[in-house]
Chains A and B, each alone.
Chain A
Amino acid sequence: MQFGIFSVGDVTTDPTDGRTPSEAERIRAMVTIAEHAEQAGLDVFATGEHHNPPFVPSSPTTMLGYVAARTERLVLSTATTLITTNDPVKIAEDFAMLQHLAGGRVDLMMGRGNTGPVYPWFGKDIRDGIPLAIENYHLLHRLWREDIVEWEGKYRTPLQSFTSTPRPLDGVPPFVWHGSIRSPEIAEQAAYYGDGFFANNIFWPAEHFQRLIGLYRRRYEHYGHGSADQAIVGLGGQVFMRKNSQDAVREFRPYFDNAPVYGHGPSLEEFTAETPLTVGSPEQVIEKTLTFRDSFGDYQRQLFLVDHAGLPLKTVLEQIDMLGEEVVPVLRREFAALRPAHVPDSAPDHAALVAAKAAAAAGEEVAR
């Protein structure tokens, strides 16, 4: 199973001292967080993509390319890449380039984006969100698999004899996740292609995502990619830890109370009771995270949100250390013991995709 960090990349004032990091500080902090995740023994770092303040990560492959050069093992990913407003041709090119530079340590997650004005800023209409996600990804999927593409669609200019360069590393496109918070169409899309499905699982009760993941699993099997329990599921989660849970609650409360998304709404106690947020000891985080399996079945990737709401970098790095030292080793062991042998233990990495491609080619050879 893969464990990692996903970052929204918000620039938020620390409510305890009124300090706001500069964009430069926040960007460097994200890189430090990614490097630290690898040092702590985590597997994945994923960055968001945003095109409005107070968020810094507008250019994910630039950041991930830099992180790739400073890490050895870490899988670089996104949460999410905007499949609606980006040109799929540019996504194909940017992520293939990143794949080469990172030696294949790349996957990415498609998302629609929920910031209304971003659509018109990029020449699109938010009411076309789903059709854009369907058509653009269909093109992206072909650009990575066909050397020469002829294309005519509704949302971009046609392509005649187009080759997206560089070609994917070893002829194998990066693994793709599709993230959605409420659209059955996106679960259907992920299932159709046999791609992964990711539920961000941070701001809503677990039940909210059960129908989406249930649909994805059922349709994954329908489209012949494997049994429902072999579908590739990723989940988010949100934690704040201290050795003693009382200390965690005391320290996190001002950040919670003023957080951009849920601040000034429910109390910390209400929100932790209702949603996957855990504020407490590492043992409590382990306990809560294990319940995700009860809600969604055996899954392949767990990403934690640890760096938002103005938390200082030092604190974030301490959270990553605790994840690496106390939480993730236990979760790896516990999840592995529970997982049946026929269920994949992680999303396929580059080596696995290369091997699968070779096996498929050999199979065709035999068939001939």
Chain B
Amino acid sequence: MPAEFWYGVEVLLNGLMAGVMYSLVALGFVLIFKASGIFNYAQGVMALFAAQTLVGIQTGQIPFAHIINVVLGTDVHHFGWHVPALLGLVLALVVMIVFAILVEKLVLKHLVNQEPIILFMATIGLAYFMEGFGELMWGADVKRIEIGLPQGGNAWVEENTAFLGGEDFYGFYLDTLDIVATLIAVALVTSLVLFSQYTKTGRALRAVADDHQAALSVGISLRTIWVIVWSIAGFVALVAGVMWGAKSGVQFSLSLIALKALPVLMLGGFTSIPGAIIGGLIIGVGEKMFEFLIGAPFLGGATENWFAYMLALIFLIFRPQGLFGEKIIERV
């Protein structure tokens, strides 16, 4: 096998791992969509906000310090303590749960029975709000996440795969972080599936997803369910935020990964957890391979910006219900 081939395989592997990350974000969408029929555009900003909060708590930042200083003329920045990673994660999770409760109380409760598209636009509003709010609270500077995740290329993989190619091949270059993220994502997905299959709350979630009215009539509290799913989505956002944040810093562009999750969902279908995972993998591999084989050599590169959307668009024209959705029978 020539070295080019093995570099292609490396691109494939990187694509797979990027795909897992997309799946992770997409999963947050699917959870909320299944339980409340809401297409939560704010999922990406939630990931950003969760990551900002984690960093803020860990480094002992004073929330709204910037604005306090301006209004009161003080000069405060930090509490001066440093919170350990694990405690920081727990506290950030608590913040995300509080956020879920507030969203339910202030937004969702008032938008029951609205058309899906209105709800979708409301979540765009929510995304804008959180973006502004998050930056007011923690500042807009690019932050680094330090919870002991490994950085850089994985030497072990590199050394042990070098024999595959010939002289020109030095082994697969894979980020250790990506490998860790993949493992965590797999664990998270598995536990979510187990949760929704085998626990009482999970059953209630699935009941709500199936039919709101029927779920209400057997005594499932819709509002509690909403708080629960938004909390879980907050948790998923936290994990995704930490992973992406560790990779490229906690900054605004983090919220754009949510947009990437949209074509993933269109491929996989909005209601299918396996769909989200496989859709993510297809997009991850597809865009890396397209860039490697066609984009970079012939189109001037940066095709990753639009490849996923185009793929989803073309795919949907032929199969509007997505990979795993059921065929839509329209009725009148």
Chain A bound to chain B: no
